[in-house]
Structure 1
Amino acid sequence: MSHKRIPKRKAAIAAGSVVALGAAALLLPNANASQDGAADDATPRTLKAADASDLAAQLAGALGDAFAGSYYDSAKQQLVVNVVGGDNNTVVVQAKKAGAAVRQVDNSTAELKSAARTLKTRATIPGTSWAVDPRTNKIVVTADSTVTGARWNRLESTVDSLGSGMATLKKSAGTFRTFVSGGDAIFGGGARCSLGFNVTAGDGSPAFLTAGHCGVAAEQWSDAQNGGPIATVDQAVFPGAGDFALVKYDDPATQAPSEVNAGNGQIVPIAQAADAAVGQQVFRMGSTTGLRDGTVTGLDATVNYPEGTVTGLIQTDVCAEPGDSGGSLFTQDGSAVGLTSGGSGDCTSGGETFFQPVTTALQATGATLGAGGAGGGAGAGDQAGGGEQAGGDQAGGDGQQAGGDQVGGGAGAGDQSGAGEQPGAGEQSGNGDESGSGDQSGAGAGAPGDGSGHGAADSSGLTESR
């Protein structure tokens, strides 16, 4: 077996980019600090999203049954905590003194979890998903375009049976499927996926996290189309309680910097993993569509893919397309949040997208993330691109999915055009109820810097590819 080491010059390029961007204050603008010394304990504190997530976890334990979820109000930079039991003034005072804004709601966490169990028992239908939205204090149930006829009627009647004010049902124009690819492209078994975050495995060896459906598609992975293997899957979970894989580099001397290559010469240093918060702004890096941003819309989401059910995911409105699986979901201040799993829609029409929480993946695999070792993001920007082609995306469970997921589309990190020379085959064959069509042509679906020479800067200072 041939072994290929990631070129050391990648790390050198990355380091230089970090220094330059840091000096320009382009990538990571200063966020408002927490007002820990507020004179009025009842006044909600101004918090960064990561701090709000930490406070929410603390209050969830402290408030017990009265806690009914929370979300981050990005406009006010405040944590909003839902509580049940309006006469429990002690709970309200406790949450306010901790710095949260408090809102009285009807549905308790226990009631929402009970409703989710009913959905699992009666409405586990391919093409559906559900997650709690603390902003509405309801479960949001989504059905993709394949859920029709008797299956739609069954889903609708199940939602109605939960009672008024417990859940809402909506339709998605796209089709739920896994998205193979991500930050820097990786190739294995004819599939193109993406490296999410570099980590240090429990035995101290360099490794990376990617999507579990990539890990079960191939055992060995390369950083170039038709290149020699550089890493081997150590653990993979999909479907089931997550969608993540730990892949160890074959060469123990591999340099695996803790950063995300965000394209256009931008490098985001990754220092820690963080739990997502509903309402939080997040960024996704993918080898097909480059850098995109959006908002977390739900937590602990259940998604019924054609291959099976996956639980415990983050739901967002960040767009993604086939070729983006496994890629990095992160924050502007350098926290690793998720790994791209799948969803519906594309970066033209939008849609729902789901991510594996990084904190859960780290705990399950025993890996660590951060400056203490290998962690976060792929190397710098000379990853192979140029019209590379993915082969079969995923064998799929029970013969439900097969075929080529995605044509090439610049797998590179920012210095490639990603032309995408061949159309993809039908992404999935369905489960007997539907058939896949040609999923993605890949033309011009390059990584950042795909030939347009233009980007769009959002409010955070990160420059999105277009």
Structure 2
Amino acid sequence: MPKRKAAIAVGGVAALGAAALLLPHANASQDTDQASGATGTAKTLKSADASDLAAQLEKILGDAFAGSYYDSGKQQLVVNVVSGDDNVIVQAKKAGAVVRQVDNSIAELTAAARTLKARATIPGTAWAVDPRTDKVLVTADSTVTGAKWNRLESTVRSLGSGMATLKKSAGTFKTFVSGGDAIFSQVQGGSVRCSLGFNVTASDGSPAFLTAGHCGVAAKDWSDSETGRPIATVDQATFPGNDFALVKYNDAGTQAPSEVNAGNGQTVQINQAADATVGETVFRMGSTTGLHNGQVTGLDATVNFQSETDPNGVDTVTGLIQTNVCAEPGDSGGSLFTQDGSALGLTSGGSGDCTSGGETFFQPVTTALQATGASLGAGGNGGGDQAGAGDQAGAGDQAGAGDEAGAGDQAGAGDQAGAGDQAGAGDQAGAGGDQIGGGADPSAPGGDQSGSGSAGDQLGTGSADDGSSLTDTH
């Protein structure tokens, strides 16, 4: 039997007129936040280097450390401090960071997140620490009304002035089944469609890939075409709480290169897994919508999805990466990565679409690798110490809110329904381009994914606006 090549061909149609990104210093569709009140001379850094530096400075600053973010406009790391030894702060400046004095400490922001979890774990809500504003950003989707809204608003007010901000989203939080190469599974009542995130090597040395946990919970056997034979089987799946799954290829001889297919025959080599940094430019590839870019807006985010299996239940996912990148149903599990080939996340859920924009949340790849024992790229599992998730106050504590998969998107429920989000033709559009490696069906719609990429590094992407609606993508 010939060996099967399973390349991550992250397909999908990119928006027409999309900017050609993944070029040095390209910042289209980005908010280039300036560090208000920041002082000091900082080094010009790539986002990956800024993440490493942030992790180092968190240890140096100790209790004085109050989060950090990457100023993509100036290509500098901004570190927040609340107090501390002036000599320590001088060390931070000498290390190359911009140091900014803020009011809220990590401990205070974490406490605020805990209060939200205890008092406002309401379906359709999410929160994450935003180091750029030094506050907890709380978001409510269109389902949070009446008594629920009053409860959430009252809880935010109780945190005190200057501790949190509350905004309303026009959409609904839900999971997006799909992302990266399209993968399919047949379940009772229909079919489920998700996206392959990144090829990895399992702890026993066998070839495998990562995708969303709500996809792995929804179905066990996965194929690279809607009606094809299964080529991979779920080994581990976690949802809610976290949202990742390790799926092993059935053929131990499968060649699973560490790359993302950016469309038009172009690929991005994935060299390592890394933690995200607030403010950095990121790219998402999905089988439904193709390549889109945006910016990391928060870390350790908590999302509360309405449970599909329990009308009164909530599926909470914590520790997520929050972005302003758009996504749609069928993109769940897809790849979130950087220009330099760092794997960051797996598409979980969010709101909006790639016409009006939106907010999308991602399961950190580093967490998935550490939990499953798998390795990616050259075998590195990414920097667990990278600043970001842990640095952003409340991430773990915030779990529960935003993680809950929204009503049609809840893993297992909406995703498993097959008929729901997955069975729809819309969800499967572009499947051909997303099919795993050689298994792709050239006759499937969206084979070449128009505008999904250009030569070399120039990957065309759609603009990622701050969306007003929260939708989960599978």
TM-score range, shorter chain: 0.7 to 0.9
Residues 1:304 and 2:304 aligned together: yes
Using a 3 Å threshold, how does the CA distance of structure 1 residues 269 and 182 change in structure 2: closer, same or farther? same
Matched positions, count? 395
Using a 3 Å threshold, how does the CA distance of structure 1 residues 399 and 254 change in structure 2: closer, same or farther? closer
Determine what percentage of the aligned residue pairs are the same residue.
75
Using a 3 Å threshold, how does the CA distance of structure 1 residues 218 and 6 change in structure 2: closer, same or farther? farther
Structure 2 match to 1:335: 342
Whether contact under 8 Å (1:302, 1:311) holds in the other structure is yes
Using a 3 Å threshold, how does the CA distance of structure 1 residues 417 and 342 change in structure 2: closer, same or farther? farther
Residues 1:356 and 2:363 aligned together: yes
Q: Shift of the alpha carbon at 1:350? A: 1.0
Residues 1:74 and 2:72 aligned together: yes
Whether contact under 8 Å (2:409, 2:415) holds in the other structure is no
**CA distance in structure 2 between the aligned counterparts of 1:282 and 1:224, rounded to whole angstroms:** 28
Amino acid in the other structure paired with 1:289: T
Structure 1 match to 2:394: none
SS in 1 for 2:91: helix
Structure 1 match to 2:472: none
Q: Shift of the alpha carbon at 1:349? A: 1.1
Residues 1:216 and 2:236 aligned together: no
**CA distance in structure 1 between the aligned counterparts of 2:162 and 2:460, rounded to whole angstroms:** 40
**TM-score w.r.t. structure 1 length?**
0.79
**CA distance in structure 2 between the aligned counterparts of 1:411 and 1:158, rounded to whole angstroms:** 44
Unaligned 5+ segments in structure 1 are 15-25, 33-41, 376-391, 420-445
Residues 1:197 and 2:198 aligned together: yes
SS in 2 for 1:284: strand
Q: Shift of the alpha carbon at 1:136? A: 0.1
- Indicate the larger mover: 63-72 or 183-192: 183-192
**CA distance in structure 1 between the aligned counterparts of 2:356 and 2:248, rounded to whole angstroms:** 36
Q: Shift of the alpha carbon at 1:43? A: 2.5
Structure 2 match to 1:237: 238
Structure 1 match to 2:87: 90
**CA distance in structure 2 between the aligned counterparts of 1:363 and 1:138, rounded to whole angstroms:** 29
**Which residue of 171, 174, 180 maps to 1:174?**
171
Q: Shift of the alpha carbon at 1:346? A: 0.4
Using a 3 Å threshold, how does the CA distance of structure 1 residues 393 and 191 change in structure 2: closer, same or farther? farther
**TM alignment of 1:55-70, pairs within 5 A:** 55-70=53-68
Residues 1:369 and 2:370 aligned together: no
Structure 2 match to 1:140: 137
Using a 3 Å threshold, how does the CA distance of structure 1 residues 177 and 417 change in structure 2: closer, same or farther? farther
**Which residue of 330, 333, 336 maps to 1:326?**
333
Whether contact under 8 Å (2:139, 2:166) holds in the other structure is yes
List per-residue Cα deviations over 1:145-192 (Å, max 9, x = no partner): 111110000000000000000000001111100000111111113200
Using a 3 Å threshold, how does the CA distance of structure 1 residues 290 and 395 change in structure 2: closer, same or farther? closer
Structure 1 match to 2:404: none
**TM-score w.r.t. structure 2 length?**
0.77
SS in 1 for 2:349: strand
Q: Shift of the alpha carbon at 1:94? A: 1.7
Residues 1:409 and 2:406 aligned together: no
Unaligned 5+ segments in structure 2 are 10-19, 27-39, 308-314, 383-407, 435-440, 464-474
Q: Shift of the alpha carbon at 1:31? A: 6.6
Whether contact under 8 Å (1:211, 1:341) holds in the other structure is yes
Using a 3 Å threshold, how does the CA distance of structure 1 residues 312 and 82 change in structure 2: closer, same or farther? same
Structure 1 match to 2:389: none
Structure 1 match to 2:437: none
**CA distance in structure 1 between the aligned counterparts of 2:72 and 2:351, rounded to whole angstroms:** 25
Amino acid in the other structure paired with 2:356: S
Q: Shift of the alpha carbon at 1:293? A: 0.4
**TM alignment of 1:277-292, pairs within 5 A:** 277-292=277-292
Using a 3 Å threshold, how does the CA distance of structure 1 residues 397 and 114 change in structure 2: closer, same or farther? farther
Q: From the CA coordinates, give the structure whose radius of gyration is larger.
A: 1
Amino acid in the other structure paired with 1:343: G
SS in 1 for 2:248: strand
Whether contact under 8 Å (1:283, 1:291) holds in the other structure is yes
Whether contact under 8 Å (1:256, 1:374) holds in the other structure is no
List per-residue Cα deviations over 1:426-462 (Å, max 9, x = no partner): xxxxxxxxxxxxxxxxxxxx47x44xx546879x732
Whether contact under 8 Å (1:63, 1:91) holds in the other structure is yes
SS in 2 for 1:413: helix
Amino acid in the other structure paired with 2:362: F
Amino acid in the other structure paired with 1:103: R
**CA distance in structure 1 between the aligned counterparts of 2:67 and 2:332, rounded to whole angstroms:** 29
Amino acid in the other structure paired with 1:230: I
Q: CA RMSD in A?
A: 3.1
Using a 3 Å threshold, how does the CA distance of structure 1 residues 243 and 139 change in structure 2: closer, same or farther? same
Using a 3 Å threshold, how does the CA distance of structure 1 residues 393 and 402 change in structure 2: closer, same or farther? farther
Structure 1 match to 2:41: 43
**CA distance in structure 2 between the aligned counterparts of 1:309 and 1:293, rounded to whole angstroms:** 26
Structure 2 match to 1:123: 120
Structure 2 match to 1:226: 227
List per-residue Cα deviations over 1:361-404 (Å, max 9, x = no partner): 100110000145999xxxxxxxxxxxxxxxx9766469998841
Structure 2 match to 1:443: none
SS in 1 for 2:432: coil
Structure 2 match to 1:314: 321
Structure 1 match to 2:400: none
**CA distance in structure 1 between the aligned counterparts of 2:324 and 2:444, rounded to whole angstroms:** 25
Q: Shift of the alpha carbon at 1:417? A: 8.0
Q: Shift of the alpha carbon at 1:121? A: 0.3
SS in 2 for 1:344: strand
Whether contact under 8 Å (1:143, 1:170) holds in the other structure is yes
Q: Shift of the alpha carbon at 1:263? A: 1.1
Amino acid in the other structure paired with 1:144: D
SS in 2 for 1:90: helix
Whether contact under 8 Å (1:199, 1:374) holds in the other structure is no
List per-residue Cα deviations over 1:198-239 (Å, max 9, x = no partner): 000011110100000000001111111121111111111100
Residues 1:293 and 2:293 aligned together: yes
**CA distance in structure 2 between the aligned counterparts of 1:402 and 1:111, rounded to whole angstroms:** 43
Using a 3 Å threshold, how does the CA distance of structure 1 residues 131 and 6 change in structure 2: closer, same or farther? farther
Q: Shift of the alpha carbon at 1:316? A: 0.1
List per-residue Cα deviations over 1:263-292 (Å, max 9, x = no partner): 122200001001100000000000000000
List per-residue Cα deviations over 1:118-152 (Å, max 9, x = no partner): 00000000000000000000000000011111000
Whether contact under 8 Å (1:200, 1:374) holds in the other structure is no
Whether contact under 8 Å (1:211, 1:326) holds in the other structure is yes
Whether contact under 8 Å (1:282, 1:329) holds in the other structure is yes
SS in 1 for 2:179: coil
**CA distance in structure 1 between the aligned counterparts of 2:142 and 2:107, rounded to whole angstroms:** 31
